[in-house]
Structure 1
Amino acid sequence: MTTNSGKHPADVVVRSSAYSVKESIDRLEDFLKHYGVTIYARIDQQGELEKAGLSLAPLEYLLFGNPKAGGPVMQANPVAAIALPLKVIAWEDADKKVWVAYYSGAMIAAAFGIPASIAAPLDLDGPIGKVLNAGPAV
């Protein structure tokens, strides 16, 4: 599928954000920490590329998780750990529009043969919609 958000597989949820890349990731990080989620890494990809002499529009990456949510998924299928911890990227396109992308809990369930009820806590649609005033998935 191709949109002005870029080409992406159907399994990747892509939504617009009402905020800048930095503010989008700041808001998500604050929300997740408030609910006891561990932030494992935050990477400013634009900054990292600049160190290598390359240029890139703003793009940040957030890696996070909660053993209470991800643990049962890994118990159901240890190979699902490859999709965990969860991650969200936010980037700015050529039109200065900001997008966020992530895997859905349903995708993780389907990909690894896990019951939807076990993967449901991994669903990010609600929090991302609430925190980022995000548009519908494209």
Structure 2
Amino acid sequence: MNANNGIINQPSPYSVIATIDRLEAVLQAKGITIFARIDQQAEAERVGLSLRPTQLLLFGNPQAGTPLMVAEPTIALDLPLKALAWEAADSKVWLSYNDPNYLKQRFSLCDELVKNVAVIAPLINQALR
């Protein structure tokens, strides 16, 4: 796992579609709401542009996210949580998401509230197994 500008990029042994499918299954099993799944490659192709496989998943739990927004309303810019599966030029697939520590610093969150978004790391790890 490496952090870069507040983004954690983890390699995935799966295709972009399978990576997002697996993450979606893990989230649904935990009762986490899937708000949207965006196939950015398909959207690019729809307007005649080319993009390597790229899909974005927006998800969350209002019970966990609402206290964050009560404490700092502008965190809604980064909520719901997002995970991006993308294929690099070398055909390696990555799963990227905001580092919870970055969100903590960006929005001056207390440790207790950061726990509400820190759940993302074990969920990502589970999907990538």
1:121 deviates by: 2.3
Instruction: Check the 8 A contact 2:11/2:93 in 1, yes or no.
Output: yes
Alignment-derived partner of residue 89 in structure 1: 84
Alignment-derived partner of residue 123 in structure 2: 127
Q: Please, which of 60, 66, 84 is the counterpart of residue 71 of structure 1? A: 66
Alignment-derived partner of residue 54 in structure 2: 59
Q: Kindly tell me the number of residue pairs found equivalent between the two proteins.
A: 126
The answer as to 2:42 corresponding to 1:47 is: yes
Identity percentage of aligned residues: 44
Tell me, what secondary structure is at the counterpart of 1:75?
helix
Alignment-derived partner of residue 4 in structure 1: none
Instruction: Check the 8 A contact 1:88/1:100 in 2, yes or no.
Output: yes
TM-score relative to the length of structure 2: 0.92
TM-score relative to the length of structure 1: 0.86
Considering only aligned residues, what root-mean-square deviation do their CA atoms show, in Å? 1.3
How does 1:12-51 map onto structure 2 within 5 Å?
12-51=7-46
Alignment-derived partner of residue 108 in structure 2: 113
Tell me, what secondary structure is at the counterpart of 1:57?
coil
For 1:99 and 1:86, the matched residues in 2 are separated by 17
Instruction: Check the 8 A contact 1:16/1:98 in 2, yes or no.
Output: yes
1:9 deviates by: 4.4
1:116 deviates by: 2.0
